[in-house]
Chain A
Amino acid sequence: MEDTRQRIIEATYACVARWGLAKTTVEDAAREAAVSRATIYRHFPGGRDELVHDVVVWQLLVFFRRLYDEVQGAESLEAVMERGIRFAHRSILEHEVLQRVMETEPETLLPTLTVESNRIRGAVADFLIPYLHQHGLSPGVNPDEAADFLARMVLSYMASPGRWDLDDPTQVSELVRGELLAGVVVGPEPGIGPD
């Protein structure tokens, strides 16, 4: 049951990669997954909209799973954020399907992405909170407020680096220590890991 659902999602993604988001139909997804249209509607009663939404959510989950793997074992809050930002930046640039959709038909993707961005922000903030506590917050800084601010800024740089070259480790380090963490945590410390 769940296997079929996931198979349909991955088949739909393959169609999007080939033909774009707007041109992918429920029939295409059914053919690619080798199931009937009725099966698709049984798993996705909302039809095409639900299917597309779930494809986006699935891709986001894949991305965040890789991001978590990437920052696992980072020895400090700074290292977590630096690795995370560089990984996210690379992943977005190298995501061919995302890049093509954003270039040719952004209006098909952006509404879903914008709605999801609230959940993404919450997930990034929740992820950061334990690191903030571990590192030690500046006096008077509310951890939830700080985590929300950091999540907002991280997502902003990820989506639009602006003047920052996020391929350059020196710049990313400067960004993290300056615009991101300077007001949030007490002065830079050596590693917080068990070394």
Chain B
Amino acid sequence: MTAEGARLRVVQGETEAGPGAHGAAVSPHRIRIVDAALDCIARQGTAKTTVDDVAHRAGVSRATVYRVFPGGKDELLGAVAETEMARLFSALGARMGAAEDLSDVLVIGIVEAVTRITRHPALTYLVAHEPDVVLGHLAFDESNRLLGAAARFISPFLIRWMDPEEAARVAEWATRIVLSYCIAPSAEMDLTNPDRARHLIETFVLPGITALRAPDRTQPVDLSSFAGDRAEHADRFQPSQYQTHPTTTTHSKGDVR
């Protein structure tokens, strides 16, 4: 397989229709084949995985794989990426839809996304063994596409607290945060930890939302409208060694290590 072919298309262009979008019935084998491919990638990566491996694992014939994915391995890999993106977004939607304030929705979304991405078995294998398959999506123009797609998905969950334009901006910002801490995890700022994510959101993000909203930016930042009922939801998160309320804690250089 060429390096070119190995670069999966994660984000479908807006003019491209996804599979099944032409009104054709989706094969009942489709998801079984995609999941089998996902298993194969998690064990041996994309380069070594063959259509035969996937057919064997899915318990279908090679011909069935080609009937469902006429483009063969490349189309199958594209479908895997697309399915996993859809699953990520659907899990995010379920969690974020239940949030009760703006701080909550951002914390829940970021923790869910970072946790799912950094613990995704196939993705973890690829990052370790075939980084070029993944990295192409995280830089420059491809990353712009990813940011746009993620922001379009996430912004509807924010419009309870802001207008659509602002929601689109904040959604893109949150996506940048997720990508940065997934690509280069930080020991001090582990965003799979809800307390750390809340600290990051309340320290750096909510004041930025307020600042861009307020016409007079010399006013002090007021967070009360965002974080009002935070205490009620404290039991939703696991306890941690970190402080939840950054404003009552003064970290020195030493104590975050």
Q: Which A residues are CB-close (under 8 A) to B132?
A: 107, 110-111
Interface centre among B131, B172, B211 (most CB of A within 10 A): B211
- B144, A162: Cβ atoms closer than 8 Å: yes
- The residue of chain A having its C-beta at the shortest distance from the C-beta of B247 within the complex is A140
- A183, B208: Cβ atoms closer than 8 Å: yes
- A162, B204: Cβ atoms closer than 8 Å: no
Q: Which B residues are CB-close (under 8 A) to A178?
A: 208-209, 211-212
Q: How many residues of B contact A (CB 8 A)?
A: 56
- B143, A114: Cβ atoms closer than 8 Å: no
Chain B interface: which of A23-31, A48-56, A63-71, A151-159?
A151-159
- Proximity string of chain B (108-126) to chain A, C-beta cutoff 8 Å, 1 when within and 0 when not: 0000000000000000000
Q: In whole angstroms, how far apart are the Cα atoms of A178 and B173 in the complex?
A: 11
Q: Which B residues are CB-close (under 8 A) to A184?
A: 204
Interface centre among A113, A155, A183 (most CB of B within 10 A): A183
Set A117, A159, A182: member contacting B207, Cβ < 8 A: A182
- A160, B139: Cβ atoms closer than 8 Å: yes
Q: How large is the interface on A (under 10, 10 to 19, 20 to 34, 35 or more residues)?
A: 35 or more
Main secondary structure of the interface of A (DSSP, over half): helix
Within 8 A of B (CB), among A139-184: 139-146, 148-149, 152-153, 155-157, 159-163, 174, 177-180, 182-184
Within 8 A of B (CB), among A19-58: none
Asked if B20 is at the interface (CB within 8 A of a chain A CB), the reply is no
Asked if B232 is at the interface (CB within 8 A of a chain A CB), the reply is no
Known: A111-B135, A145-B189, A153-B176. A187 touches B249 (CB 8 A): no
- Proximity string of chain B (239-257) to chain A, C-beta cutoff 8 Å, 1 when within and 0 when not: 0000000111111110010
Set A111, A152, A161, A162: member contacting B180, Cβ < 8 A: A152
Set B169, B181, B189, B211: member contacting A182, Cβ < 8 A: B211
- B211, A163: Cβ atoms closer than 8 Å: no
Chain A interface: which of B23-31, B91-99, B216-224?
B216-224
- A177, B176: Cβ atoms closer than 8 Å: no
- A107, B203: Cβ atoms closer than 8 Å: no
Asked if B140 is at the interface (CB within 8 A of a chain A CB), the reply is yes
- B139, A140: Cβ atoms closer than 8 Å: no
Please name the 10 residue pairs, one residue from A and one from B, whose CB atoms are nearest each other, closest first: A183-B207, A182-B211, A178-B212, A142-B251, A107-B132, A110-B135, A160-B143, A182-B208, A183-B204, A182-B207
B-contacting residues of A (Cβ < 8 Å)?
102, 105-107, 110-111, 113-114, 117-118, 121, 138-146, 148-149, 152-153, 155-157, 159-163, 174, 177-180, 182-184, 187-188
19 new A-B contacts, CB < 8 A, other than A117-B184, A142-B253, are: A102-B140, A106-B136, A106-B140, A113-B139, A144-B253, A144-B256, A145-B188, A145-B256, A148-B186, A152-B177, A153-B180, A162-B151, A163-B148, A174-B212, A179-B212, A182-B204, A182-B210, A183-B208, A187-B220
